[in-house]
Structure 1
Amino acid sequence: MAATRLISLHHVKTKSVAQCLKRCIDYVRDEKKTEDEKYISTYGCDPKTIVGEFLLSRKIYEDNVRRPHKKDVIAYQIRQSFKPGEITPEKANEIGYDLAMRFTKGRHAFMVATHTDKHHIHNHIVFNSVSIDGKSRFRNFYYSGLALSRISDILCLENNLSVIQSRYEENIRNKNSKRHRFGNRALDQNSLSFLVDIEKKMREGKGRGYENWARKFNLKQRAKVLLFLEEHGISSYEELVKKTDSMEADIDVLNEKIKARNTAMKENKELQKAIIDYSKTRSVYTEYRKCGYSKKFYAEHEDEIERHKAAKKIFDTVSSGKLPKMKELRDEYGELLAVNKTDFQEYVRMRKEKKDFLIARKNLELLLEREKAEEREKAKAKQSRSSRSETSL
């Protein structure tokens, strides 16, 4: 159960940037809290020279990109606290390192210090606001705290640790049990063994390294599925199937609306063109009629005459019998185009969302099938042991 928090370290006017950084780093690497700095790890810097290296990247940025503003953030601190008694300091430091690496994408130097002075083990992660190469700064986006907690949850699930239970999970426990109910049942975060799907022959051929990779890969897939379902309020396999099926129907309905408007827009454009063509060729066609539909005149003005005839055919298709004005047609076309543009964006979004749900559904089906296979193997083994016991008696 890892709780996370992202804190900005601002430059205090009464102190230098170096003093502000040193004060933060000294607290984080306190020997009493880290057992003589036993549980400290770094990336892109050395623990002994971290302040100077942070300042060097900052100097490169200031010289080549821009000077700092008044409320400048010189570094960021992540606090990650674990459930008491659930993790060792070594493992906590390893998870903290992975969290910092994924959150900063390896672009910023950082230090991870694991404190053991409290009843709960916790990490203090300090990373430079300026990238290692001094070319960019970390942008603290609106949902950065949520993104941080999600990465932390994934890491906890990958390492068989509990995560903070949300209201969603509490609601699930209050509902009636279903066959594939999540929460603390079939897919409980403490029952991870059934996910490790390594074929015997492949394991023998690839060795221990492949086995470790396959186990970690399956745990990551499971973590992603669980978090995806929680984010979208899906509490059972049946609900997921129902959701994906309803999404398909909604997409089809929206697609039909878009197609109908496209047809209406095409007819509108044809009518606009017919009105323009009719107006431009009217005098030519009048002359053609006055000269008794002369073949010679037709040969000289074939294009104009045919455009005029085509326009008249389109006019005959107008159900009301009365031609609308060009302004009305253009306004109608603009309205159809605006609505279709909005609906098409929604259509693209729904298609992408549907794809994400289908991927989650497929992954979940694979996980559930693996669980069933494990249960069948256990039942078969139990039955075999019982048979041997009866034979011996």
Structure 2
Amino acid sequence: TDKQHIHCHIYYNSTTLDYTRKFRNFWGSSFALRRLSDRLCLENGLSIVENPKPRSKGKFRNYGEWQAGQKKPLTYQDRLRAAIDTALAKKPADFPAFLSLMEQAGYEVKQRRGAISFRAPGQERFTRLRSDTLGEGYSETDIRAALSGSRQRPGQPRQKINLAIDIQSRLQGKGPSYERWAKVFNLKQMAAALAYLQDNGLTDYEQLEQKATAATEHFHKLSDQIKSTEAALHTNMELKAATVQYAKTRPVFEKYKASKYSKKFLAEHEADIELYRAACADFKAILGGAKLPKMDTLKEEGRKLSEQKKKLYAEYRKTKADMQEVTTIKANIDYLLGYSEPGRKKEQER
């Protein structure tokens, strides 16, 4: 049996076999089970049913019925077009560099009588690089023109190959890119990446790149807001401390002033007078000549700043986790697709 079409079922009882625990249904439990099943299938190279829809009146479609209504599977020509697009997106310097990228993607390249042909792993016959085989914009002339920058590739814009499908085809096709990736990563990490793409509806590389950039920018924006809030909170605490110190030592300084700055009085109350002068210096440094707010105002401001800091940190922790997840997944995908090879600029900078 072809393992790509194995269909599995999950059965569970109301209690465990040792009767120590029972199954507790919760809101969204079916989604959690489906996600776990999809993860296991992806790790083992099996296909999954994406968002299966039930029949009306509570009747569900079986796998055969679901499969019959799906789109036609990708042909070798579809995969070749996707590989060509991926290779050209890396902006090779010339046509030989383009052919080298195709070989790295796992394709066998044949040049005979001035014609270029490609064959994917498992494919019986070669596919010619010409527009009447692959479609407008996929002839050797079109690709050479695009590489030289003399003109854009002609033809109507085509629908992009789904990023998850492209990744799965590379894993199934093996080849140099897979071997290079397999030395560093494992199937569980790539299965997690594919599950992330599906959960977030990311169908092409640009969407993933934008999400990673947005997550990183949001993280740094929150970091700046937290630093600003903490600085304002520190200033608020300094003002409150200086205000308390000022209120306690001002009567002593007023008496010192009334004594016409007596040296004897200064010697007896030198510590309090120094604290008073330090409080005045703090006011001057912090407020810059502005009017000192009332203590009640300072307390209310400090309370609001503390609440704001607490909320920002809660969002910061989630944002940091989201950023780490998407950037890690993007890094794994970049390595598999050849966007982060040592000694070359990152594809994201194009």
Give your verdict on TM over 0.5.
yes
Q: Which residue pairs with 1:225 in the alignment?
A: 193
**Any conservation in 2 of the 1:251–1:350 contact (CA below 8 Å)?**
yes
Name whichever structure is richer in strand by fraction. Answer: 1
Q: How does 1:135-150 map onto structure 2 within 5 Å?
A: 136-150=21-35
Change (3 A) 1:163 1:313: same
> In 2, Cα distance between the equivalents of 1:320 and 1:137?
69
Q: Counterpart of 1:322 in 2: which secondary structure?
A: coil
Tell me what 2:172 maps to. Answer: 192
Deviation, 1:184, is 7.1
Q: 1:362 aligns with which of 305, 317, 331?
A: 331
Contact 2:226 2:309 in 1 (8 A): yes
Q: 1:46-65 counterparts in 2 under 5 A?
A: none
Find the counterpart in structure 2 of residue 182 from structure 1. Answer: 162
Distance 1:140-1:331 versus aligned 2 partners, 3 A rule: same
1:333-389 alpha-carbon deviations (Å, 9 max, x no partner): 11121122111211121111111111101111222239x9xxxxxxxxxxxxxxxxx
Write out per-residue CA displacement over residues 52-104 of structure 1, whole angstroms, 9 at most, x where no aligned residue: xxxxxxxxxxxxxxxxxxxxxxxxxxxxxxxxx7559xx96xxxxxxxxxxxx
Query: Counterpart in 2 of 1:330?
Result: 299
**Shift of residue 235 of structure 1?**
2.0
Are the counterparts in 1 of residues 164 and 203 from structure 2 also a CA contact under 8 Å? no
- Preserved contact between residue 258 and residue 343 of structure 1 (Cα < 8 Å): yes
On the 8 A contact 1:234/1:240 being kept in 2, the answer is yes
Q: Does 1:129 align with 2:19?
A: no
Distance 1:284-1:129 versus aligned 2 partners, 3 A rule? same
CA distance in 2, matches of 1:122, 1:278: 76
Is 1:160–1:190's contact at 8 Å kept on the other side of the alignment? no
2:226–2:313 Cα contact (<8 Å) kept: yes
Q: Where in structure 2 are there 5+ consecutive unaligned residues?
A: 53-69, 75-80, 90-160, 342-350
Task: Please list every run of 5 or more consecutive structure 1 residues that lacks an aligned counterpart in the other structure.
Answer: 1-84, 93-120, 200-213, 373-393
Q: Say which of 208, 211, 215 aligns to 1:247.
A: 215
1:139 to partner: Cα distance: 3.5
How many residue pairs get aligned? The number is 236
Residue deviations 1:102-139 (CA, integer Å, cap 9, x gap): xxxxxxxxxxxxxxxxxxx65462335247372x4444
Task: State the partner residue of 1:260.
Answer: 228
Distance 1:145 1:299, change over 3 A: farther
- What's the % identity of the aligned pairs? 31
Question: What SS class does the counterpart of residue 187 from structure 1 fall into?
Answer: helix
Match of 1:160 among 45, 52, 60: 45
The change in CA–CA distance for 1:122 and 1:154 in structure 2 (over 3 A counts) is closer
Q: Please give the secondary structure, in 1, of the residue aligned with 2:12.
A: strand
Aligned counterparts of 1:131 and 1:342: Cα–Cα separation in 2: 44
Q: Does 1:318 align with 2:287?
A: yes
Moved over 4 A (4+): 85-88, 195-199
Computed over aligned residues only, the root mean square deviation of the Cα atoms, in angstroms, reads 3.7
CA distance in structure 2 between the partners assigned to 1:190 and 1:163 by the alignment? 17
1:286 maps to 2:266: no
User: What amino acid is aligned across from residue 38 of structure 2 in structure 1?
Assistant: D
